[in-house]
Amino acid sequence: MKILITGGHLAPALAVIDGIRENKELSKTTSIVFVGRKYAQYTDKKPTLEYQEITSRNIPFFHLKAGRLNRSVSIRSLAGVMRVPEGFFQAYHILNKEKPDIVLSFGGYLALPVAVVSRLFGIPVYTHEQTVHPGLANRLIAAFAQKVFISFPQSRKYFPRRKIYMSGNPVRKQIHENKKLSYIPSGRGKIIYITGGSLGSHSINAHIEEILNALLSRYIVIHQTGNVTEFDDFNRLTKVRNKLPPELKERYVLKEHIPSYENGGVYKAADLVISRAGANTFFDLIALKKPAILIPLPWSANGEQEKQAKILCDAQAAEIFDQADTSDHLLELVDSMMGKLHDYEEHYAQLSGIYQKDAVQTIIQTIFKTA
């Protein structure tokens, strides 16, 4: 059996891929191909994390130049609309060549042309919705999908009832591996892990740069910047790091990307996480019960990151920081939370029963049973 996997959410896709590969029977009888973005932006020359992760698993990767449909009108959005037909033509050629038995989507604008063309070929489509409020692409895909896997019970109202399967969000197995990483200083104080997701966050990076010396005087900082060429944050912050006094420099761990097999080690080492409030982060934090400062992406579709951050904040497991606020306020929030980490950890208990599910096995068993 051949499965084509596509979509905008990499982490759950990797979790399912690894789940299939770890199953002795399925690994012998199943081949996987992946359709995604080789570059984060059209002007970028550096491969995306998804390209690196997929090809490192020796999975064929097909780059799709699909256009994005936006509700707002701008030169960039119009350029995206003009690329929509190209995405459908490319999807047709990929599917005609590969002839998969199943298409598994993880949402996003890339998945839409693949799912639509799959329908025309009569290929069963399954889709997973990672967020509280589904995006336009997944709501369209749901119209002809066999099943719609959802992560949040709050998402039920957006999809046809007969197609919904409350699976939870696939969490990578590596997140639970307590692997000690040589680049993380040990025994020198509390550790902060800062991440803006696989692409990084320029806004978060800029805030951290403003208060970097103050943070390093108190804590060890692991900072994942991303690699978007437009901002060049990693190279700029590397220069900043090189100018730090030796005692601060060794407390600043700077990474462009953190590969999936190191994620568990980084999370386990961290006392506090500073990040966006995407669904991956939401479920990782619950799985590991990590106190966090969440900085929701202001323009996330339908305010999904604010909604996800609010669930953790209302449970008193995390705090929310508005990226428009001052960097000094972020520093104050860090210091305040560091003094009562245990209180935040205890509050995760009330969330585990609702959101912790074996999504990987649920999705695998469902698609292989009904395909």
β-strand partners of 148 = 127, 164
Backbone angles phi, psi at 142, to 5 degrees: -60, -25
- The tens digit of pLDDT for each residue in 144-167 reads 999 999 999 999 999 999 999 999
Please give the structure tokens belonging to residue 198. Answer: 């696989």
CATH of 2-170+357-370, one of 3.30.750.24, 3.40.50.11750, 3.40.50.300, 3.40.50.2000: 3.40.50.2000
Which residues face 222 on adjacent strands? 193, 253
Band (pLDDT 50/70/90 cuts) for residue 86 is confident
Domain ranges of the chain: 2-170+357-370, 175-339
Angstrom CA distances, 214 to 209, 266, 274, 353, 369, stand at 10, 22, 16, 38, 55
pLDDT tens digits for range 164-188 = 999 999 998 888 887 889 999 988 8
What pLDDT is recorded for position 71?
A: 53
**Contact present, 55 and 61 (Cβ < 8 Å):** yes
Give the pLDDT confidence score for residue 76 in this predicted structure. 52
pLDDT, the chain, mean: 91
Percent of the chain at pLDDT exceeding 70: 94
Give CATH for domain 175-339: 3.40.50.2000
pLDDT confidence band for 46 (50 / 70 / 90): confident
Distance CA 284, CA 187 (A): 24
> pLDDT digits over 221-251, tens only?
999 999 877 889 999 999 999 999 999 999 9
Whether the model clears a pTM of 0.75, i.e. scores above it, the answer is yes
Q: What is the pLDDT of residues 317-364, one digit of tens each?
A: 999 999 999 999 999 999 999 999 999 999 998 898 777 789 999 999
What is the per-residue pLDDT for 93?
Answer: 97
Asked if the domains at 2-170+357-370 and 175-339 fall in one CATH topology, the answer is yes
